[in-house]
């Protein structure tokens, strides 16, 4: 019995004697099956062929990403709060070297993930650090391919955790699309971690919104307005996207508002 990992999206599946016939995540219109067809690997193989790069992304925020690129290519963010460390979003590779470095940074108290494309090997990460809770929005539970008791499904529009962290349901990309606000981030000015629910674009003064980024499916105006309204009550100056250095360095809230206005003008004609 093996736990197979999809090479295109990085999602780990439960124990099986043979590779699954298909990846449910990749067959959804927001993702895609690789051009050469469905392919699988396993965590042990990934540990032999890849390694994780760990480097700062902000004050008390450390990035963890896999080299060479694997799956979707996102990097996770480790946040060092006063009440424990949070891993925001997740990646497929966890190995001894990564676990040692994370332990040196204070370990992990919990994991929270923005949306199903980044569920990856979340259960492996949780159990490597003692079975810590994994916070996922209940609206996306159908996309959990490997069920585990460590997964905590939360419901509603916001959910307070520890260390002045608040999960926010923005929707958009997925119905349960989640962002994470850290009130203590940036020395109290506030940090917003968005995955790609709000996507930091190449001109890092701006962000964007999509149902599918790889397949270029836009969001309707109502969904964009809901995403923006969901973060309006929260103060934040820096905004952290899903990839290395995809960071709005300042005036993050203003960037979200003006980007939404530009997006709505474009789709409404």
Pick from 111, 63, 66: nearest CA to 85: 111
| Alpha-carbon distance values, 95 to 2, 99, 102, 121, 129 (Å) | 17, 6, 11, 12, 12
Tens of pLDDT, residues 13-43: 999 999 999 999 999 999 999 999 999 999 9
Tens of pLDDT, residues 51-62: 999 999 999 999
Domain 2-268 part of CATH 3.20.80.10: no
Tens of pLDDT, residues 98-128: 999 999 999 999 999 999 999 999 999 999 9
Q: What is the pTM of this model?
A: 0.97
Tens of pLDDT, residues 184-208: 999 999 999 999 999 999 999 999 9
Tell me whether strands 110-112 and 199-200 are parallel, antiparallel or unpaired: unpaired
Question: So what's the pLDDT on residue 238?
Answer: 98
> Mean of the pLDDT values across residues 145-169?
98
Question: So what's the pLDDT on residue 269?
Answer: 81
Question: So what's the pLDDT on residue 1?
Answer: 86
Question: So what's the pLDDT on residue 150?
Answer: 98
């Amino acid at each position: 019995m093996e736990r197979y990992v999809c090479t295109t999206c990085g999602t780990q599946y439960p124990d099986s004697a043979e590779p699954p016939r298909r990846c449910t995540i990749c067959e959804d219109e927001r993702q895609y099956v690789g051009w050469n067809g469905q392919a699988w690997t396993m965590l042990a193989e990934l540990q032999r062929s890849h390694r994780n790069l760990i480097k700062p992304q902000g004050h008390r925020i450390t990035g963890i990403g896999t080299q060479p690129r694997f799956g979707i290519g996102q990097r996770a963010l480790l946040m060092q709060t006063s009440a424990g460390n949070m891993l925001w979003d997740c990646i497929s590779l966890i190995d001894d070297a990564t676990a040692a470095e994370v332990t040196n940074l204070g370990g992990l108290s919990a994991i929270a993930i923005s949306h199903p494309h980044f569920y990856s090997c979340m259960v492996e990460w949780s159990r490597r650090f003692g079975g810590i809770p994994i916070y996922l929005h209940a609206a996306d539970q159908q996309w959990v391919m490997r069920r585990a008791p460590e997964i905590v499904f939360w419901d509603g529009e916001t959910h307070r955790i520890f260390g002045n962290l608040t999960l926010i349901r923005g929707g958009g990309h997925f119905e349960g699309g989640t962002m994470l606000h850290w009130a203590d981030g940036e020395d109290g000015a506030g940090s917003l971690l968005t995955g790609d629910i709000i996507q930091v674009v190449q001109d890092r003064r701006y962000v964007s919104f999509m149902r599918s980024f790889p397949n270029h499916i836009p969001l309707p105006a109502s969904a964009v307005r809901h995403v923006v309204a969901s973060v309006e009550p929260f103060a934040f100056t820096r905004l952290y996207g899903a990839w290395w250095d995809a960071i709005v360095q300042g005036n993050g809230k203003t960037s979200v508002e003006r980007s939404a206005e530009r997006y709505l003008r474009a789709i409404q004609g």
